[in-house]
């Protein structure tokens, strides 16, 4: 049996942010074992799992992605919402829109140094909605 519900994240500035606590704080009691699927319902932000201890990793992610997909590139056609719009869509597709985390002993079974990142790719990003599914 699956349970699905939405949660709202607070506003985060552009960059990579650890949101593991934001997610866990809004979960019901978890089953003994299963899977947690987290899906972001937006096209200009993404989710990934990576280093949760050193904030330099999140800074380096931001630097790399901004260099890989620069805002306002002259070859972008979709520019109606500003110079960060198309680059945000591409970065979101590269990062992905969901993560799946095993559940073990009623807890998320993340590695010691793993956390869930929100990649916020817009300068004026709004609050973001996540769809949570517990299997």
Render pLDDT for 107-122 as a digit per residue (tens, 0 to 9). Answer: 999 999 999 999 999 9
Token pair 């899977």 is found at 35
- What is the number of residues in the chain? 135
Full-prediction pTM beyond 0.75? yes
Residue-number span of the structural domain to which 41 is assigned? 1-132
The predicted pLDDT at position 126 comes to 83
Cβ-Cβ contacts under 8 Å for 44 (sequence gap 6 or more): 85, 88, 89, 92, 121, 122, 125
With the C-alpha atoms ordered 6, 97, 115, 112, is the resulting torsion angle positive or negative? positive
**What's the structural domain count of the chain?**
1
The predicted pLDDT at position 33 comes to 98
The predicted pLDDT at position 124 comes to 79
The predicted pLDDT at position 62 comes to 97
What is the H or E stretch that residue 72 is in?
Answer: none
Q: Give the span between the Cα atoms of 2 and 31, in whole angstroms.
A: 11
Measured at the alpha carbon of residue 39, what is the angle toward residues 33 and 40, in degrees to the nearest 5? Answer: 150
CATH of the domain at 105: 2.60.120.460
* Residues of the chain falling short of pLDDT 50: none
Sheet strands side by side (includes 98-104): 3-8, 129-134, 33-40, 98-104, 107-108
């Amino acid at each position: 049996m699956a349970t699905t519900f939405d949660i709202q994240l607070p506003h985060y500035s552009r960059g990579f942010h650890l949101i593991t606590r934001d997610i866990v704080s809004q979960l019901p009691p978890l089953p003994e074992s299963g899977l947690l699927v987290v899906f972001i319902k937006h096209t200009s932000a993404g989710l990934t799992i990576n280093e949760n201890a050193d904030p330099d990793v999140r800074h380096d992610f931001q630097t790399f992605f901004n260099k890989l997909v620069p805002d306002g590139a002259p070859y972008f056609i979709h520019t109606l919402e500003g110079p960060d719009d198309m680059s945000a869509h591409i970065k979101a597709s590269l990062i992905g829109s969901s993560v799946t985390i095993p559940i073990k002993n009623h807890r998320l079974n993340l590695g010691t140094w793993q956390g869930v990142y929100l990649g916020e790719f817009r300068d004026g990003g709004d609050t973001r909605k996540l769809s949570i599914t517990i299997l």
